Copies of this chain bind each other. A is one copy, B any other.
Amino acid sequence: MKSHTRYLTFQTRRRRELVRITDEVAGFCQESGIQEGMLLVSAMHITAAVVVNDDEPGLHADIEEWVQRLAPGPSADGRVAGPDYRHHATGEDNGDAHLKSLLLGHQVVVPITRGRLDLGPWQQIFYFECDGRRPKRVILKAIGI
């Protein structure tokens, strides 16, 4: 069995941002030399998510609007404040980002087949930053043969 690990760091300019990372994950997969296995893509922070979906700008706007409806927070650019949360008593202003992370999930597992990410034709991997403008990490870990 082989194992391979790498950490990606993101510092988004906006508070909330969807970053396509399929190419980085595919490069890591190739580098691992693993032919058959599983690849974990997992945010190391509690105010970010990792999802697999379509790379279509209209859909991305729908997702932004949707997460704001289900877990309201500041605007994506951070200019308009969001509702208050009990978590803010600690001095934070990112209660919504914790809920968004729980809503979307902080990780995905990508299957590796014949040395490549075994994704469907429209599946792209995204890091969804929910409280950015500072360095945040994602771990990539692959195991297999």
A-side interface residues toward B, CB under 8 Å? 1, 3, 5, 36-38, 40, 42-46, 51-54, 56, 58-59, 61-63, 66, 70-71, 85-90, 95, 98-99, 101-109, 111, 113, 118-120, 122-123, 137, 139, 141, 143-145
Neighbouring B residues of A62 by C-beta, 8 Å: 85-87, 95, 98-99
Say what secondary structure dominates the interface of chain A. Answer: mixed
A128 vs B26: C-alpha distance when bound (angstroms): 27
Q: How far is the CB of A20 from chain B (nearest CB, A)?
A: 13
From A7, which residue of chain B is reached at the shortest CB distance?
A: B118
From A95, which residue of chain B is reached at the shortest CB distance?
A: B62
Contact yes or no, A89 B58, CB < 8 A? yes
**Contact A143-B144, Cβ < 8 Å, known A58-B85, A95-B62:** yes
Contact yes or no, A45 B108, CB < 8 A? no
Contact yes or no, B5 A113, CB < 8 A? yes
Q: Which of B1, B71, B118 contacts A144 (CB 8 A)?
A: B1
A-B pairs with the 5 shortest C-beta distances?
A44-B120, A3-B36, A58-B86, A59-B87, A111-B141
Q: Which of B106, B109, B139, B144 contacts A107 (CB 8 A)?
A: B109
Contact yes or no, B98 A59, CB < 8 A? yes
